[in-house]
Structure formats: C-alpha cells, structure tokens
C-alpha cells in the first residue's frame, strides 16, 4: 500500500502526469515502447540489481559480463537490433551495469577510422563476438591531451610490421574500459615512427589476449587498475606493450596509410573525427547525466514528503520536510534543472541531426559550432547535474548517505562524467576559443553561426523590470542572460587584446585570461539553456496543464540562476540591488507553487522501483520498512561476527594480555 | 628518489617549512610529540592501512576492532593515557579507522548525565572494557529533532523497572556507531512515561548483548545497517526493543530522577548539556574536517607539479598543470581555506576554554554565544571543506577518481560531517536565531556578546578602495565582510518584522525567511573567519617568512570569498563593479605568487606517506610507479577471472546457445 503522505501528493496534480511523460519521451508511442523494453528487461532475473549494493568489485564485474552476454540472447529473443527503435531504451533499462560498452566503441572506431577492407574484416568478427574489443587511448601520463601520448609504433620495413612499445611507465595505457579482464583486442593509439621520423598519433588494432584460452599474448602485460569511486562493474585496465608486432594491415587507414616500403600517405580530412566525439558527448548527456539527476530528484522529493521532522506550527503534527522553505530551496531548483537540461538535450540532438545532414552533403562548416556547443554543454551540464545530485543526497540527511538510498551510487557515477570524454575546464576553454573568434568576427561585421549571432549586438542598458512580477516574463530574464553572456565574452576579449597589445605573447595572454574565459563560456551555455527552455515552453500546448507548470519551472530555473550568479548580473548595474530583491521575492514565491506539483513532476520521469533501486525513493513511499528489510540482507548481518572470537571476546573476558 | 619536478619545488620556499609546521602544531614541543606518536603507531604493522582500498565492509570492520583492541595495549606499552598530552595525536595517527569511538561517548554521557552513584558503577567497568558501550539516540524516523524520538520507556512501579519498546518501525534506533555488531551496552534515549504521563526524552543504560557469548539479550533485535558511502569500518547499527526491562537505577539521573513510587523529580539545569554538543562539534572540525582538507590539498598540489600535460608555450616541454591559471584557481583557494579554518579552529578552541572556565564558576551566560558559534562554524566549515575536497579530487582528473589516490575516501568521509552532529541547515538556523536576537538587542542599545557587538554599528557607506592594491589591505576587506554580515542580518530581521506586522504568525514568518536567515548566518561566520585570520597574521613574527606567506593566503582567502559571493557585496553598491574588477585583478595576481610556495605550504602540514595513503600524494612524487604497483595488489588481479569460464569462453567459442 502507498504511504498516505505520498498518496495525497498525487491527488492534487495540476497536470496530467501521463501526458507529461509522453512529452518527455517524445510521444505516446515512444513511451509505450520504452515501457515494453523496461518491462522485458526487469522481468528477467538475470538483469536484477537487487544485491548490487552488497557486492564486491569482482562480483560486480562478473554480473556485468553475465548481463552483457545475456543481453545478446535477449535481443535475439525479442527481435531487438542495434539499429532498431528499441535499442536506445535498453541502456536505461539495464541501468548501466553491463559490460562490453567499449566493444561498441571499438567497432565504431574501426567503422570511422578503418579502410573498407579493414571494416570488411573486423566488423563481422566483432558483431559475432568472435573477439571482444576495447579502445586504448588514455595513458597513465596523458588524458585529454592526445598529442602527448607516449606509446610508440615503429614500422619495420623488413617484416612489414609495426613494433609497439611502452617506452616508459607513464606511457602505459590506463583506464580503458573492458580492457582489464575482458577484451581480446584493442584499438591502441601510438606515435607512429617510420625510418626514425615521427608522424604523430595513429590507431592500431592489437590483439592482447589469446582467443583460445584468454591468456595474455606475448609482450603484453595487462590487468585491472583496481577500485574506483564507482564503476565497480567495469574492468578499467592497464596495458604495457613490449615489442608487440602487428601486421601493416592493422593500422586503421581510412585517412592515412603506410606503404610496404614505409611511404606514408594521407588522404581526406580527419575533421570528421570530431563528429565521433560530438556524438559521444551528446549521448552522454541524455544517457548518463540527465537520467542520474532525474532519479536523484525522484528519490529526494518522494522521501521529502514521507519524512516528517519537527514542527512548522506549534501544536500540529510534525511537518513534511518538503514544507520547509530551506528544503524547497534545495530540491526544487534541481528539479527545474532536470527539465531545463532535458530541453537543452533536445536542442543539441536537433542541432546534431541538422549538422549531420549538412556533413553528409560534405559541408563541414557546421562542425565548429557543433563542437563548441557539445563541448561547452558537456561541461556545463555534467558539472551542474553533479552538484545537483549531491544536493539531493545531502537533502536526505543520514539516510541519503546509506548506499541503500541509491543516491551515493548516482553521485559517484555522475561525478565521473565531469572527467571522462574531455576534462571540463579544457572543454570550456575550447568553447571560449570559439566564442572569442565569433565575437571578433561578429563585431567586424562578418557572418557567424546562428547560436552566436547575439554577440554582434552591443547594448549597454538596464533591465527594465519594475516589480517582482516582471521577472516572471521570459523576455526580461532571457535578455538579462544574454546581456551577461555578451559582457563576459566582450570583457575577456578586451583583456586578451590589452595583454597582447602591451607586449604579452599570445599563449601567455591566453593563460592569464583562462579563469574569465571559462566564465564566459559558462554564461553562453547558460543563456542558450534559458532561451531554449522559454522557447520550448511557448510552443507547448496550453491544454493539460503542462505548459503552465513548465512555465513555472522555467521561471524558477532562470531566477535561481540569476540569484546563484548574482555578482555577474549586478556587476555593471544591468540588474540593480532593488531588482535583485524582486528576483529573490519572485523566486521564493515560486517555491511553494511548484512544491504542490513536486511529486507528480518526478512521477512523470516514470522510473520503476527496480530502476531507482532505492529504499527511499520507491513509488509506495514505504521508506523505513524498506530500509530495514534491505539492511537485513547485508553481508555484515549474515556471516557471523569475524571480530568476536578473535578480539571482542578476549577483550571482554579480560584475557587481553594473552592476545 | 624524489621526482625532480617535485624536488625543485622545495628548493625555492620563501619560508622555513619546519617553522611553519611548528606554528601549526602550537610549538616545537608539540611537533616533536606528535611525530613520536605518529611514528610509534605507523611503525606497528597492526595499524597498517596498506590494503584498505581493497577491503570489504566485513574486513574493514574486523581491522577496526583489531586496531582498537591493540591500541589499548599500545597505550599501556607507551605509557599514554586518555588524559595525557599524547592522546590528541593518536586519532590523527591511526587515521580514523578504529572501533570503539562510541565507547568514549557512552562514557562521557554517563559522566555528564549520570549520578555519582551511576558514575561509580559504570565508568570503571567501561574503562576496563568489561563492557563495550554505544550511544543510541538517532532513530529511523528522527535525527536532529530529538523531541520527536518515538522509543518509549514506561515505568512499572510494581517491579521498579522501565519497560522499553520500539512502538513502530520508525522508532527503531538507526545509525548508532559500534552498536551494529560490537557493543554490549548502550545509552538509549526514550520518551519516559509514568502513570500514563509523558515526561519527555530521557537516557537509559540498556544491555543489548550477553557478556558471556555476545548473543542478543531477550527482547533485543539488533544488527548492522549495511553499506554507506564511507565508514565501512564502522558497525553503524539498528536496535529494536521489545518489552526490554531495565532497573530503575539505569535511568541516568544527574538532572532528574524517578522515585520508586513513580514520583518524578528534576534538579539542576540541563543547559550544561549544550556543552557536550559544543565540545563534539569543535573537536570534529579539527580532527575530521581540517585534517581531510589538508590531506586533500597535499595530494592534489603535489600531483599537480608532477603531472605535465599540454604546452603553455609552443615548442617547450609539457607544462606542470599547476602552472595553468585554471588549476591554480581550483587549488590555491582551497589551500588558503585550510589555513584560514586552522586559525578559526584556534579561535573556537580559545573561546571554548574561556567559556568553560566561566561555566566552572557557574556563569552560564557564555553558553548562547558558544553554542551559536560552534553550530554555525560546524556548518560553514564542514560545507566549505567538503566542497574544497571535491574540488581537489576533480582537479586530479581521472587519477583522482581512483580509490588509490586517497581522495575518494577523504571526500566520502568528509561529506558525512555535513550531516552528523547536527544537520547543517538546522545548525545555521540556530546561529541565525541567535544573530537576530542579538541584532534586536544591539539596536536597542542592550549589551550583547563580544562576537556580535559589530551588529550595533549602522554604516551605509561605500568601500573606500581606489585600486587593486587597496584590496590587499585587511582593513578594506574585513570591513566589506562586516558590512555584508550586518546588511544580511538586518534585512532578514526587517523582513521578519514586516511579515509579523502584516499579520503573519511568528512561525510562518520564520519559515518564509529561512533561506535569507541561513545566508546571514553564513555571512557572520565568514566575517569572523576573515577578521580572525587577519588578526592572527598581524600577530605573527615577521621573521622566517611565515608572516608574509600567511598574509598572501589570508588575502587570497578573503578575495576569493568576495568573488565567490560577489552578488552579496555588489548588492547595495558597497563594492562597485569597477572595484570588483580590482578584486579580481588582485586575486589573479596572487595566484602565481602563492603557487611558488604551494608545495612547501602543503609539506608544512607534515603528513607522512602512510597517513596520506595516496598513490598521487607521496612525498617523493613517484606517482605513476606507485599507481602501477598498487593496482597490481587489487583482488581483481589476484583471483583469476571469474567470468571467463562461465561467460566469456562460451561467448567467444560460439557456444553461447548452450548457455
């Protein structure tokens, strides 16, 4: 039975939860299909995550491999294919704990970087799992700066082979997923040397384990890198190469080739490679980051209407903690952010689709904008959502800190997204470089991509809002965001120019401006998010109450952003102190309004109890009962007390001296 | 041998590291004693933490009990006592992973809450470990709000016993440390009922496990609450009581007593109880929070001069990442915060000592200020340091995410400090209540405690700084902090009054102001921190270079705080936009200055490699070598691959269909 404190929250929804779910999914049909996939996966015991919080790294790894292997069968059984419409729901349904994700990256890199002949040879082997692939790029000493990789591949004309080596310890491959214990082959990146000359980093297919008995191949030292904050199920690995020879044909040669005699030829543009990174970063936002935040909001908000603590009014019963202003202030902006970034994700997806069809027509001009936006948003959204999940965790007090709440694993996993697929600060600086370039071009009257045309406008002005209600006007706050994005970009550009004009070298000047450049890049992404959210809300059907509640969330997101970055808006007086008080007043007024719909708003994310895997967040709100039931399953309660006979008993029985 | 990239950093220190260490310790003699204790502990293999990152919850628990038991022997051996000068260094030396910490809380609560007779009976038993105690206050349904506890203790006049019960699941004791598997006795808090009347929450000594065989006593259901984000070594427990009878003498009766016939008598003031909470919160700051931040800074800063990535200048070798402005901007403010809060900790310790001697003279007037400051600082410092440790972790990129870096365990542990010993938001609201009260009194010309006399001053004014160098004047920035603390307190008070005057009930008005009240409490603590840091720096000897570098850190801390909360300072124009640019300029100028001394500044914290337990942070900077060595010790590399025979082999050998 549903806890009455949670049930009552569902009776007063101002909108249709089912319709909001369909909107989030992109249509009723998508919702139906997603639920069918989730149901098929969750009803299969192999995919159960019931004991996940009690498992060791070894157990988690074994389960992830079991699930990955079983998934192949399941897909055949269900008639799902990698290109079918169901595929995108599978990852969400298994909740990420599955092996062989890098096998797909192995295949994709061959498809993009390999020649037709290489594709014809390797892709069928990989598709049929006659080998297991991984992707060995990162080294102990090098991450995002790929040019610095130290692994070497020296071409030997006599045998027509490449000799791969790890010349020093920092050159060891480190972190590649699926490589520590599973994969038989990998795409290894190495500095290519021919006749003593270095040609830069190239990809090579290297077999690392025997296909017969899985033992390491000659010259290969490989293993698992050990425990991490999360991803216990993944065998992130290390790889040392000692005079490992691979045939000439194993260098992926869509863009460049080494002839038998060592002649090096290059063809086509490698720019298209950016497209792969872009795809991965955009997929990451929807598959890893948004899902994690939506789950965290679901757990924290449901718990906050079940948890009663202290009294709001003397003499009354204890209040639901969500009725406290401070709790609303913690959680509701995170809920608004989940919806805001959902619309940003749609925006990025559409931009990608549009750009992709241009690229198909050989128009590569769209790439810089796509790259800048996907880099910037990867950084901004992972960072924002990581903080948001942490806030959700802390807002649940002690119980949020228990693994059984599900929040710690969401947090430790989303935290990694700030680091992998490009370190966030470096990504933001790439966005900033694009912004500065476009800013200069725009001010010189040259054409710039659509997302940055606004940089051409030069308005000083003041915010025209006169009372707190004015700040519920999307024009007012969007304009404010635009203003600050322009101001920060323009002042970073001015500082750069000043430094260069006073004699600083370009790279020195750049380094001295990086803190402000990062700020400008963030402001740009923040502005696009707010603008896009408001435009999305305007286009919504006013029926079914959805537009109204989305408008509230959009307002809250925008105003919360202004308050959180108040200094940026107040700096040049665009918003005055008195106006900032209006922003605060409107913001605080919105909290109790959205609070009424908080539970329906998280219900609409439509996570099953199994996918939440949280004692605090289940649909029925039986929080305390479930914490107790789950705790009893802990291995700490099952295997007797290892410390009693050895330590506690001698201590208590005063035989300590005999120890 | 020391990595030359780290060695070179130590050759240019602008001050004497050894002298700074002595200052941090409070004198040369303290440093000597601390090192002796650390050495004695670390040279004893029982206290080794070598395999900690690979251990299960069960293994961690067993190790913690082993260490706790061994520590008793060690102390006898070394001649250390609980009241001796060495005692305070022991906890730091064992790095926290030790059981029976709650045994001391059990003893302290009996000492404070028990009668002389009770103390005479129980303290010797506990001292000799003829029992193991714990402290059972928190329940599944209640944490900080103690009045809401649901466990009951009904007095039975016929047998002169209390009958303890867990009337519903939310009343189950949940979280108490040392209770899940170790303790034999506990101080349980329960609502006292006599003849059907409730007298509120009282403490009872309850035996929960047999002293003979450690089995649960009749009517007791107890166990471990399962996995948490950290504290794997601690057996946080649950406890259900079913008609458990304890004799009348087991109610701790220093402040109130139940006569045999059920007559309830109260004596003395319980206010003194606050002192215990205060002690714990202040100890927490130095023992748990500051140490964690100092360790995180040591690891991240040493790693950042060893890690080279990308190029600052074309054609040169790759740069140390600490030479990038963005990396300095991440780490150096955290280093400054570690020093700032070190001085705050001294301030709190002195305040406590002074208050304590007043209280000994029966002057309880000092309690409210002490309580307000210890609550507020507990919240502000735990929150600030938790974020700071997270920044250090993220600043180390992928390797920071490995448990072997030591950073994840520092982070997950310090995060808990935001929750236990009082939830931070609630603590800040207690500080705010004190502030509002004092503000009203001060404005009415009444006397207020020393830390809040500044609230009486009513200055509007503007910041007098004219150029960026003016912002390196402590008077200028301290004044700015004071101004904002007054403004935020005064405007929260005004809003409260307005609401009440327009007819809102007091508790409603309070709830509607809580977001702003929290902000005022934070500003107050921030102001005191800055003021106290500047005063401490002024008093330092100018010799040995320490005063100079501390002045830089103090400036950096203060300016970083202004930039991070720019909105608060710009709001009423006290600082103008142009002045904020000066703050930013001065702040950015300080970064490369402090960067030069960054390694000596963390060396001065004087952590041994064993206590850091970090592959990234060791004194010799052999980062990559150590990561590789440690990874090889992981159980994932030692027990064969459990997934190969079962899943990988059938998959690769195409026998999948037979699975």
Q: Which residue in chain B has the smallest CA separation from A307?
A: B141
CA dist B98 → B35, B68, B545 (Å)? 20, 5, 39
Q: Which of B213, B304, B401, B488 to mutate to test the interface with A (most CBs of A within 10 A)?
A: B401
Determine contact, residues B277/B139, Cβ cutoff 8 Å: no
- What are A618-641's pLDDT values in tens digits? 999 999 999 999 999 999 999 789
CB B107 within 8 A of CB B123: yes
Q: Which residues of A are annotated as a binding site for FAD?
A: 138, 177
Q: A131-267 domain in CATH 3.50.40.10? A: no
Give residue A345's pLDDT.
Answer: 97
pLDDT value at residue B658 = 38
Confidence of residue A541 (pLDDT cuts 50, 70, 90): confident
CB B495 within 8 A of CB B513: yes
Average pLDDT, stretch A107-136? 96
pLDDT at A655: 61
In angstroms, what separates the C-alpha of A651 from chain B's closest C-alpha?
7
Stretches where chain B sits below pLDDT 70 are: 655-659
Calpha distance B635→B637 (Å, rounded): 5
CB contact under 8 A, B130 and A644: no
ipTM of the complex in this document: 0.97
- Tokens standing for residue A171: 């050159």
Residue A101 touches partner B, C-beta closer than 8 Å: no
Cβ-based neighbours of B528, under 8 Å, separated by 6 or more: B344, B347, B373, B451
The whole-number pLDDT of residue A659 equals 36
Q: Please report the pLDDT score of residue A267 as a whole number.
A: 84
CATH homologous superfamily, domain B273-621:
Butyryl-CoA Dehydrogenase, subunit A, domain 3 (1.20.140.10)
Rounded to an integer, what distance in angstroms lies between the CA atom of residue A339 and that of residue A336? Answer: 5
Model pTM above 0.90: yes
Which residues of B are identified as catalytic? Answer: 421
Nearest CA-CA partner of A308 in A281, A327, A283, A335: A327
The predicted pLDDT at position B267 comes to: 84
By Cβ distance, the residue of B72, B227, B584 closest to A634 is: B227
Label residue A44 by pLDDT band (50, 70, 90). Answer: very high
Which chain A residues contact residue B400 at CB under 8 A? 419
Q: How confident is the model at residue A285 (pLDDT cuts 50, 70, 90)?
A: very high
Find out whether A533 and A340 touch, Cβ atoms under 8 Å. yes
> Given the DSSP bridges, would you call strands A185-194 and A133-136 parallel, antiparallel or unpaired?
parallel
Give the residue numbers of A marked as catalytic. 421
Burial of B539 (0-12, 13-18, 19+ CB in 10 A): exposed
Q: Where in chain B is the domain with CATH 2.40.110.10?
A: 131-267
State the pLDDT at residue B35: 98
Nearest to B656 among A72, A226, A512 (CB): A72
pLDDT for residue B659: 36
Mention every residue, 6+ apart, whose C-beta is less than 8 A from residue B390: A390, B411
Taking one residue from A and the other from B, the number of pairs with CB-CB distance under 8 angstroms is 355
Strands B244-247 and B152-156: unpaired
According to the model, what pLDDT value does residue A658 have? 38
Q: What is the pLDDT of residues B150-198, one digit of tens each?
A: 999 999 999 999 999 999 999 999 999 999 999 999 999 999 999 999 9
Q: Angle formed by the axes of helices A291-306 and A407-416, to 10°?
A: 150
For B408, name the nearest residue in chain A, comparing CA atoms only.
A229
Side-chain half-sphere CA neighbours of A218 within 13 A: 5
CB-based contact B423 A226, cutoff 8 Å: no
In sequence order, the 6+-apart residues with CB closer than 8 A to the CB of B45 are none
Q: Is A235 on the interface with B (CB under 8 A)?
A: yes
Please answer yes or no on whether B66 and A508 come within 8 Å at the CB atom: no
pLDDT of amino acid B574: 97
pLDDT of amino acid A623: 98
* Partner residue opposite A631 with nearest CB, options B226, B570, B644: B226
In sequence order, which residues have a C-beta less than 8 Å from that of residue B381 and are 6 or more positions away?
Answer: B285, B289, B290, B341, B344
Beta carbons within 10 angstroms of residue A81's beta carbon? 11
Q: What percent of chain A has pLDDT over 70?
A: 99
B318 touching chain A per CB within 8 A: yes
CATH 1.20.140.10 location in chain B = 273-621
E strands along A429-545, which residues? none
């Amino acid at each position: 039975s549903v806890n009455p404190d949670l049930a009552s929250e569902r009776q007063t929804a101002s909108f249709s939860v089912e319709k909001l779910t369909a909107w989030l999914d992109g249509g009723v049909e998508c919702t139906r299909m997603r639920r069918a996939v989730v149901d098929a996966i969750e009803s299969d015991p192999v995919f159960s995550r019931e004991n996940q919080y009690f498992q060791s790294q070894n157990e988690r790894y074994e389960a992830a491999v079991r699930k990955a292997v079983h998934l192949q069968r399941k897909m055949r059984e269900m008639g799902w294919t990698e290109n079918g419409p169901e595929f995108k729901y599978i990852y969400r349904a298994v909740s990420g704990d599955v092996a062989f994700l890098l096998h797909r990256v192995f295949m994709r890199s061959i498809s993009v970087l390999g020649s037709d002949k290489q594709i014809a040879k390797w892709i069928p082997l990989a598709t049929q799992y006659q080998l297991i692939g991984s992707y060995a790029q990162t080294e102990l000493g090098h991450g995002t700066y790929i040019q610095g990789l130290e692994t070497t591949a020296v071409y030997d004309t006599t045998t027509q082979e490449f000799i791969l080596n790890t010349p020093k310890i920092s050159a060891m491959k480190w972190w590649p997923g699926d490589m520590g214990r599973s994969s038989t082959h990998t795409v290894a990146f190495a500095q290519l040397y021919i006749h003593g000359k270095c040609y830069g980093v190239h990809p090579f297919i290297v077999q690392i384990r025997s296909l017969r008995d899985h033992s390491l191949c000659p010259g290969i030292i490989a293993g698992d890198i050990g425990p991490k904050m999360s991803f216990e199920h993944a065998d992130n690995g290390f790889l040392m190469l000692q005079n490992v020879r691979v045939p000439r044909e194993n260098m992926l040669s869509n863009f460049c080739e080494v002839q038998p005699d060592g002649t090096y030829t290059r063809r086509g543009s490698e720019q298209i490679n950016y497209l792969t990174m872009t795809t991965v970063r955009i997929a990451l936002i929807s598959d890893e980051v948004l899902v994690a935040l939506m789950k965290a909001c679901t757990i924290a908000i449901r718990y906050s209407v079940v948890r009663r603590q202290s009294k709001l009014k003397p003499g009354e019963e204890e209040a639901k903690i969500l009725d406290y202003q401070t709790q609303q202030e913690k959680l509701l902006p995170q809920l608004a952010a989940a919806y805001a970034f959902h619309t940003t994700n749609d925006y990025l997806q559409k931009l990608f689709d549009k750009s992709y069809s241009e690229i198909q027509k050989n128009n590569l001009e769209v790439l810089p904008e796509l790259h800048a936006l996907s880099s910037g948003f990867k950084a901004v959204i992972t960072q924002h959502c990581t903080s948001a999940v942490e806030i959700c965790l802390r807002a649940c007090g002690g119980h949020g800190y228990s693994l059984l709440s599900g929040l710690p694993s969401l947090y430790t996993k989303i935290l990694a997204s700030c680091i992998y697929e490009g370190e966030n600060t470096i990504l933001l600086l790439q966005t900033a470089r694009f912004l500065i370039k476009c800013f200069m071009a725009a001010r010189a009257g040259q054409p710039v991509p659509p997302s940055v045309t606004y940089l051409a406008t030069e308005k000083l002005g003041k915010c025209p809002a006169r009372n707190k209600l004015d700040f519920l006007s999307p024009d007012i706050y969007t304009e404010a965001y635009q203003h600050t994005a322009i101001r920060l970009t323009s002042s970073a550009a001015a500082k750069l120019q000043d430094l260069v004009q006073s004699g600083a070298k370009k790279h020195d000047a750049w380094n001295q401006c990086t803190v402000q450049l990062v700020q400008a890049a963030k402001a740009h992404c923040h502005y696009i998010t707010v603008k896009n959210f408001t435009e999305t809300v305007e286009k919504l059907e006013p029926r079914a109450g959805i537009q109204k509640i989305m408008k509230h969330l959009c307002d809250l997101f925008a105003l919360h952003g202004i308050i959180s970055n108040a200094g940026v808006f107040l700096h040049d007086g665009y918003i005055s102190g008195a106006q900032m008080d209006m922003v605060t007043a409107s913001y605080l007024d919105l909290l109790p309004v959205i609070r009424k719909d908080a539970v329906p708003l998280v219900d609409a994310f439509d996570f099953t109890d199994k996918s939440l895997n949280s004692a605090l967040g289940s649909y029925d709100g039986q929080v305390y009962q479930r914490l107790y039931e789950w705790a009893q399953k802990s291995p700490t309660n099952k295997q007797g007390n290892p410390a009693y006979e050895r330590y506690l008993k001698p201590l208590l029985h005063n035989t300590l001296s005999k120890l």
